[in-house]
Amino acid sequence: MKQGTWVEIHDIILKPEERTGMIPEETKKVPLEMRMKGYLLEDAEAGERVKIETLTGRIVEGTLLSENPTYTHTYGETFIPELLAIGRDLRKMLEVDHE
């Protein structure tokens, strides 16, 4: 992948033995993982350790997973009516701040 490509990386933040004792037992058994998207800072191939620059300007290091990743998260199968109003309510709040 070429420098400047939008990519996703992965890294282990904490190994299971490094996790705090104040979390559920089943959570303590697995590592704390990170997936992050950003612009590739140097040419690389999937599986290599790379650095990316996020949209907020942070430089983050991890294992290169994919090029041009898509967003696959959902809010599940349940309809959540509050989500419909978020954009409308935020626009109203921003308008008030500018007046």
What pLDDT does 91 receive? 86
The stretches in the chain having pLDDT less than 50 are none
What pLDDT does 1 receive? 96
What pLDDT does 3 receive? 98
What pLDDT does 86 receive? 87
Query: Residue 48 in contact with residue 63, Cβ under 8 Å?
Result: yes
What pLDDT does 18 receive? 95
| CB neighbour class for 7 (10 Å; exposed up to 12, middle 13-18, buried from 19) | buried
Tell me, rounded to whole angstroms, the distance of Cα 93 from its chain centroid. Answer: 26
